[in-house]
Structure 1
Amino acid sequence: MSKASKAAEENARLDHGVHTDPAALDELTDAASSEATEVGADGAVAGYRAGRTLRLGVELRRQLRRRRTQLVLGFVALLPFILVVAFEIGDANPNNRSGGFIDLATASAPNFVVLAMFVSGSFLLPMIVALYFGDTIASESSWSSLKYLLAIPVPRHRLLRQKAITSALLSALTLAVLPVVSLIVGVLWYGAGDAISPTGDSISFGQSVLAILLGTVYIMIQLAWVAGLGLLLSVSTEAPLGAVGGAVLVSILSQILDQITALGGLRDFLPTHFSFAWMDLIATDIDWTDMASGALSAVLYATIFGLLAARRFATKDITS
């Protein structure tokens, strides 16, 4: 950051009642004056490059150091162990080869992974994505640091893009931790057997690992609509809890409506209707229809919400 930019930031801090060292401010102001002759034809200070502001690596490391991120990653990694304890306390039968996915959870490691992804798919996974995206801009507003980021200056479109990419990477990392840890825990407790579906289909361990990988990728794509909605709410409010909670509530409402069979074909337009289409991968003859529909629906919703978020943030009056 140039000294001129630092001076602009310090002046902005004073305008909003944030005290700073007067001597330091005088030094920066003098430096800014001396650099006045270095302004280019486009009005930008010499040496300023928009592409060098808010670098992705810096923002990603900052978010990884946040206690929020560490707690979320820790809880997701701990969840498979909690499930194992629950099965050990209960009367689960490792030799069970019939029933639903919950009954089959202890049959093999792949089945245990499917259970972990199934029980967390309704609430936990959407909440994680909503947390990362809903908190991204709203938290800066709540900390009164957003106006300083823009005063550096970071272009608005770049700020939103860098924040969104960072949130996407954190979401992908967290969503990937669950099946990876679950598979390791499942192999240790239940062995590397075949994956068995409630329909009686059975696929080998190697095929099941590939199915789990594809299922994880599908979940990431399907939850893109939550990401887009969270980002839209994040640029629309200064309350992170409101943005995160709003996205989670919409997800819950969509799941409730999806249970109303009287809606018929209208349920196909709900963003959560194809949330569990990935379970079709645990079969000898895979039907890709629902997964394709779910991916397309999620991408369309995410695109609409993302464009609305970009438009809203580009015209929003930043006061905090």
Structure 2
Amino acid sequence: MSTLAESHEVASGYRAGRTLPVRVELVRQLKRRRTLVMFGILAALPVVLLVAFQVGGEPGQGNNRMNLMDTATASGANFAAVNLFASAGFLLVIPVALFCGDTVASEANWSSLRYLLAAPVPRARLLWSKLVVALGLSLAALVLLPVVALAVGTAAYGWGPLQLPVGGTLPTGTAAQRLVIVVAYIFVSQLVTAGLAFWLSTKTDAPLGAVGGAVGLTIIGNVLDEVTALGDWRDFVPAHWQYAWTDAVQPQLEWDGMIQGAAVSTTYALVLFALAFRHFAGKDVVS
């Protein structure tokens, strides 16, 4: 006579926690063309900027006031900082939105999502593996840009201290530490875009819709931050803190802005990730 317990029996050796290992998902995503193309674009950006400086001349010529961009050719460290400054507002949003927004929606688009779940891979386990890999690739993309920029800048302008726009310099060791802080903060600030993209990825079968939706909502956040009539309400807009990392390229490291920005970004991201898991747990997967 069958029992309720028998109806829940699983195959011998089956362990839900061992299905779709992170390393397997990572290999799958690394082999995809969009991953290679995105890494290629980020690696090419420092070379493009270098050529632009070579063709257009020294940045800041004729200016009475110096900003971070004007120090680009001072050293390899300055060149890396300028690459981050030039790309943090929009370009670095794209790989985060792409890796996090495409990951689930693409499986649905290929009609392979239901077969993964039938393997059987638990839904929470599937989302967890995909989220870890997506965030890992996003971080790799954010690290790749300054590393390549530092190498290109050092080859072109030499290895030296970080020249500050406000005057003075930071020793090379301190400059390297500050750049690590900058990259870490940019990654944390991009968690909102990651959360938006991942949540949308669980709600649609169109990868472009999830990626484009996350980028579009991020742009709307940037626009809202420009509306000064909002006053203190802008403090709750993640985009308001996206350049708080510039406090790390000052003579004295200031944490207040980065702490507030990280708190806002992390809060939004946790809510969005939770919504993604909650929605996907009860979603009728037919693709």
Bin for the TM-score computed over the shorter chain: over 0.9
1:93, distance to aligned residue in structure 2 (A): 5.5
Does structure 1 retain, via aligned residues, the 8 Å contact 2:60–2:69?
no
Separation in structure 2 between the aligned mates of residue 97 and residue 72 of structure 1, nearest angstrom = 37
Q: Which entry has the higher C-alpha Rg, 1 or 2?
A: 1
Pairing 1:291–2:226 present: no
Alignment-derived partner of residue 317 in structure 1: 284
Deviates more, 1:170-179 or 1:99-108: 99-108
- Whichever residue aligns with residue 118 of structure 1, its letter is F
Does structure 2 retain, via aligned residues, the 8 Å contact 1:201–1:283?
no
1:207-246 alignment, distance < 5 Å: 207-246=174-213
SS in 1 for 2:239: coil
1:263, distance to aligned residue in structure 2 (A): 1.4
Alignment-derived partner of residue 137 in structure 1: 104
Pairing 1:87–2:87 present: no
Separation in structure 2 between the aligned mates of residue 185 and residue 173 of structure 1, nearest angstrom = 18
Query: Residues 62-94 of structure 1, C-alpha deviation per residue, up to 9 Å, x if partnerless?
Result: 110111101111111111001000000002169
Separation in structure 2 between the aligned mates of residue 108 and residue 215 of structure 1, nearest angstrom = 17
1:41, distance to aligned residue in structure 2 (A): 7.3
Deviates more, 1:248-257 or 1:197-206: 197-206
Does structure 2 retain, via aligned residues, the 8 Å contact 1:234–1:240?
yes
Does structure 2 retain, via aligned residues, the 8 Å contact 1:134–1:233?
yes
Pairing 1:161–2:128 present: yes
Q: What is the TM-score normalised by the length of structure 2?
A: 0.94
1:108, distance to aligned residue in structure 2 (A): 1.5
Pairing 1:53–2:19 present: yes
Alignment-derived partner of residue 69 in structure 1: 35
Query: Residues 127-160 of structure 1, C-alpha deviation per residue, up to 9 Å, x if partnerless?
Result: 1100000001000000000000000100000000
Pairing 1:179–2:146 present: yes
Deviates more, 1:67-76 or 1:188-197: 188-197
- Whichever residue aligns with residue 185 of structure 1, its letter is V
1:211, distance to aligned residue in structure 2 (A): 0.4
Q: Classify 1:40/1:58 alpha carbon distance in 2 versus 1 (closer, same or farther; 3 Å).
A: farther
SS in 2 for 1:237: coil
Q: Classify 1:186/1:98 alpha carbon distance in 2 versus 1 (closer, same or farther; 3 Å).
A: farther
1:113, distance to aligned residue in structure 2 (A): 0.9
Separation in structure 2 between the aligned mates of residue 97 and residue 215 of structure 1, nearest angstrom = 27
1:97, distance to aligned residue in structure 2 (A): 11
Alignment-derived partner of residue 94 in structure 2: 127
1:250, distance to aligned residue in structure 2 (A): 0.8
SS in 2 for 1:107: coil
Alignment-derived partner of residue 44 in structure 2: 78
Alignment coverage as a number of residue pairs: 282
- Whichever residue aligns with residue 153 of structure 2, its letter is G
Does structure 2 retain, via aligned residues, the 8 Å contact 1:97–1:196?
no
Does structure 2 retain, via aligned residues, the 8 Å contact 1:40–1:46?
no
Separation in structure 2 between the aligned mates of residue 232 and residue 71 of structure 1, nearest angstrom = 24
Runs of 4+ in 1 over 4 A off after TM superposition: 93-98
Separation in structure 2 between the aligned mates of residue 114 and residue 123 of structure 1, nearest angstrom = 16
Higher RCO (Cα < 8 Å, 6 or more apart): 2
Does structure 2 retain, via aligned residues, the 8 Å contact 1:98–1:104?
no
Q: What is the TM-score normalised by the length of structure 1?
A: 0.85
Alignment-derived partner of residue 12 in structure 1: none
Separation in structure 1 between the aligned mates of residue 155 and residue 277 of structure 2, nearest angstrom = 46
1:42, distance to aligned residue in structure 2 (A): 3.6
User: What's the Cα RMSD here?
Assistant: 1.8
SS in 1 for 2:69: coil
Separation in structure 1 between the aligned mates of residue 222 and residue 171 of structure 2, nearest angstrom = 32
Q: Percent identity?
A: 45
Separation in structure 2 between the aligned mates of residue 193 and residue 115 of structure 1, nearest angstrom = 15
Does structure 2 retain, via aligned residues, the 8 Å contact 1:172–1:220?
yes
1:51, distance to aligned residue in structure 2 (A): 1.7
Equivalent position to 1:194, from 148, 161, 171: 161
